[in-house]
A and B are shown apart, each in its own frame.
Chain A
């Protein structure tokens, strides 16, 4: 700190600045939390109360709404939760394992097509899945995979962004000598990867597993075009259906409860892992 600021006037100015910062931050936080606050409040209130007016205090109908939602035969909520959980878990597993595998291959070995392979992955990294959705749908209907989970899970093996993250991580934590030492000890290359390399990159695996789980959990575009049957639908599809149904006829307590079920479990997990997740955001992006 310079001398000038140590004077009384400088200090007063600094604390005024600080107050402005805190006020702005608190306002932004309120903006972020406000909609979720109303969501929780209204999920705990009965339909009749919600229509009558708004209250900043929770009601007593949380369990009633929950029971009403789970026992509603028209909304396969439990089934959708199970489907989403199944698809997202496998996606997270496949994405992290195979991206690490690809990164390992390009980090450790030297082969003719190495440069080409790396440049190719980097080049297609930003191409959105939507642009090939048409060909994708035609392909899976020809492969007889329409209305099944396979086309939602299997493509996650090729995830360029996750690959790039793993590649960068290996560059910083995985020296070639480790692999060579394993060779001397007679380890097969694939075993070296599974037994020695994977444990070494655990933090990267965990961060990417979380991110790929979340993006699969939230994914709507492709699943909506692939899945038709009622008992295979995922949470985002169910939510979209709620919107297209005649909304005014619904029990509003149940509507809020449904949104709650889609959002809140993930939020709770986030609150426990937030430190870890936020640190993970910056990794894998460009560095100045």
Chain B
């Protein structure tokens, strides 16, 4: 990891190495207490029957895999997993396409678009908005007597208000639109950085060879952007698994209509809030494994540069 030569490092490390432990100690103590031990105890809890029925406490009693069997057999988990996936895909496809398009435009030497800073500022803005407040805003805007219905009626486009939150696909679309708005700016900026990191000589060479803009995009930009695209997709998936604030507030935690917009974490939250710890544990473990598989990919990508030590210098940070 270090950049010094091995011999020099060895001499220095003798007297100062203990300081390394001093500096990383707070992180590891806090992480162990507030993340790692809770994670283990979450796993442990998932094997116990442990819930509250009114004022009566049931369990904890060891039941093996009973909780896992329960969440899979009553179709809750399959349904909520599907909901999460569908809503995520509905938001992510436009997100990645628009981001890719904008990233290419913003970095294009041919177009030389003006006012880039303004557009970037505007499209990144929704990312910093409090998701719960944004969702509450959409709820008021799209409610039966809300501004959107009023505007549509005043324009004469509809006779009676559209009841957005009573229909499966309009509710899902609203969540997807919010996710799209909150994340496409962020993705655009990441992809832009990726495109700007590509050796400009390659574009020049392609241009001299007479490549058209579309060919240039497909044959030069896209293949070289692939690592960052994979990173963006995987991290977006990890974010998608955690989808909570927006659907929770929009549907008041019910996943209306008829649980079609209930996500995995909303389900977890429900069990946690009602102290149904056995089931909550099983759901947590499931979510953990999904994110763990995705995390391994990110880990491999980020660690690659620390394994090939020589190259790391070249890819410095720009600020």
Q: List residues of A whose CB falls within 8 A of some B CB.
A: 1-2, 5, 14, 17-18, 21-22, 24-25, 28-29, 31-33, 35, 38-39, 42, 51, 53-54, 98-99, 101-102, 104-115, 117-119, 121-139, 151, 154-155, 157-158, 163-164, 168-169, 171-173, 175-176, 180, 189-190, 193, 203-204, 207, 214, 217-218, 220-221, 224-225, 235-236, 239-240, 242-244, 247, 252, 255-256, 259, 262-263, 266-267, 270-271, 274-275, 277-288
A263/B39 in contact, CB under 8 A: no
B111/A134 in contact, CB under 8 A: no
Q: Cβ of B224: which chain A residues have Cβ within 8 Å of it?
A: 288
Which of A22, A28, A240, A262 is in CB contact (< 8 Å) with B248?
A: A240
Q: Given the interface contacts A283-B317, A288-B228, does A220 sit within 8 Å of B287 by beta carbon?
A: no
Q: Given the interface contacts A117-B24, A135-B42, A288-B194, does A54 sit within 8 Å of B1 by beta carbon?
A: no
A173 to chain B, nearest CB (A): 8
A105/B122 in contact, CB under 8 A: no
A158 to B33, CA, bound (A): 10
Q: Cβ of A189: which chain B residues have Cβ within 8 Å of it?
A: 16, 19, 22
Is the C-beta of B73 less than 8 angstroms from some C-beta in chain A?
Answer: no
A260 to chain B, nearest CB (A): 9
Closest to A130 in B: B265
Residue of B2, B133, B208, B284 with most chain A CB atoms under a 10 A cut-off: B133
B127-145 interface with A by 8 A CB criterion: 128-141, 143, 145
Q: Given the interface contacts A18-B113, A127-B295, A244-B252, does A32 sit within 8 Å of B316 by beta carbon?
A: no
20 further A-B contacts with Cβ under 8 Å, apart from A28-B122, A114-B1, are A2-B208, A21-B111, A22-B113, A32-B125, A98-B26, A102-B26, A106-B20, A109-B17, A109-B20, A109-B23, A111-B20, A111-B21, A127-B291, A130-B265, A133-B268, A135-B45, A220-B131, A225-B269, A225-B272, A256-B140
A126 to B294, CA, bound (A): 9
- Cβ contacts A to B, 16 pairs, < 8 Å: A28-B102, A32-B123, A33-B122, A101-B26, A107-B2, A109-B20, A111-B20, A111-B21, A131-B287, A151-B34, A157-B26, A189-B16, A239-B133, A247-B143, A259-B140, A274-B120
Q: Cβ of A111: which chain B residues have Cβ within 8 Å of it?
A: 13, 17-18, 20-21
Q: List residues of B whose CB falls within 8 A of some A CB.
A: 1-4, 9-10, 12-13, 16-24, 26-28, 30-31, 33-42, 44-45, 98, 101-102, 105, 110-111, 113, 117, 119-126, 128-141, 143, 145, 147, 150-151, 154, 181, 185-186, 189-190, 192-194, 197-198, 207-208, 210, 224-225, 227-228, 231, 235, 238, 241-242, 244-245, 248-249, 252-253, 265, 268-269, 272-273, 277, 280-281, 284-285, 287-288, 291-292, 294-295, 298-299, 301-303, 305-306, 312, 315-319
Which of B113, B120, B150, B316 is in CB contact (< 8 Å) with A54?
A: B150
Q: Cβ of B133: which chain A residues have Cβ within 8 Å of it?
A: 235-236, 239, 259, 262-263
A183 to chain B, nearest CB (A): 8
Q: Given the interface contacts A2-B207, A51-B145, A126-B238, does A35 sit within 8 Å of B23 by beta carbon?
A: no
B41/A139 in contact, CB under 8 A: yes
Q: Cβ of B1: which chain A residues have Cβ within 8 Å of it?
A: 106-107, 114-115, 118
